[in-house]
Amino acid sequence: MFPARRPRRLRQSEAIRELACEVRLHPSNLIAPLFVQEGDGPPTPVGSMPGVSRLSISDLAREAAELGALGIRGIALFPVTPPHLKNPEGSEALNPDCLVLRAVAAVRKAAPGLVQFTDIALDPYTSHGHDGVLTPDGRDVDNDATVAILARMAVLHGQAGVDFVAPSDMMDGRVHAIRTALDAAHLGRTGILAYSAKFASAFYGPFREAVGSAQAAGTTGLDKRTYQLNPANPREAIADALLDEQEGADALMVKPAGPYLDIVQQLRQATRLPIAAYQVSGEYAQIHAAARLGWLDYTRARNESLLAIRRAGADWILTYFAREMAQEIQVSRLKQV
């Protein structure tokens, strides 16, 4: 007896597989994280992130324009603050002429249609590397004092023309405070992409190297477990994300992406808001490292990792693979014409 139902009929040729494809990657699903540094010097490669560099403002603006031409609709900007501008209070974050806001203006001129997301947190600016100001005893991050600073920071970014401020600090109540401050400053069009389910993960190391937050503290392993989520707590993660929705977030993020696909899927079922997932620096680095050792097929592993994030329910993926994926998708389409 042969089966009447033969699933392989939908897999037998490239054309049939394309017709039957359920989930696709498109450049408009991708947001490119970019690092900006002071000065007009050449790009500075990030050693633990092959193919990723810190860029001057002029190079960043050119890169943004090229990404837009490839069909990528959004970039997320992260500043590399010079050490002499860092202090325990992270006061450079409130400088209206700080590096990231000058970069925003340059990108707006070079690529006016590109959506800009900027990080709202103090770790690029503090000498201790934490995401907020510390309590008087220096043992923890002061939640409410930090939130007050973040709200002022978000207003500066909104006034600079940022499309979405993206609080990544995981302080309690910061989305409500930021939304209130933006509205009071007549910045009702400025959106909030909240890092709503951000876990205390081991996969952030290369990013901290890139922005210098680990070096600021003299360590590569800052302990942020009093404010970032416990990797063992899925229910708490969903509760936190839904609280951000109640407080006024326009989109919710899960970070990291790959190790937390279950959280992406559960959140997709719990909200109607757009969901972003951040394929973080450690995820990017491990694919590169394994491929260099010959243990993985680089292209297939990269593509599968991104497809899995989309399949789990993410609308937007922040990924350091954004440019090369958009280029390959564009080439693939040209071949099909």
The residues annotated as belonging to the active site are 198, 255
> What's the token pair of residue 198?
């951000």
Distance of CA 139 to the CA centre of its chain: 27
Nearest to 310 by CA among 264, 273, 267: 264
> What's the token pair of residue 219?
């360590």
Residue 199 carries which side chain, given as an amino acid letter? F
Q: Which stretches of the chain are DSSP H helices?
A: 14-19, 57-69, 99-110, 143-159, 174-184, 205-211, 213-217, 234-247, 261-270, 281-292, 298-312, 322-336
Residue pair 37/47 in contact (Cβ under 8 Å)? The answer is: no
Residue pair 220/209 in contact (Cβ under 8 Å)? The answer is: yes
For residue 126, the cross-strand partners are 87
For residue 37, the cross-strand partners are 80
How far CA 115 is from CA of 121, 163, 174, 272, 278, in Å, comes to 19, 6, 22, 21, 16
Residue pair 171/244 in contact (Cβ under 8 Å)? The answer is: no
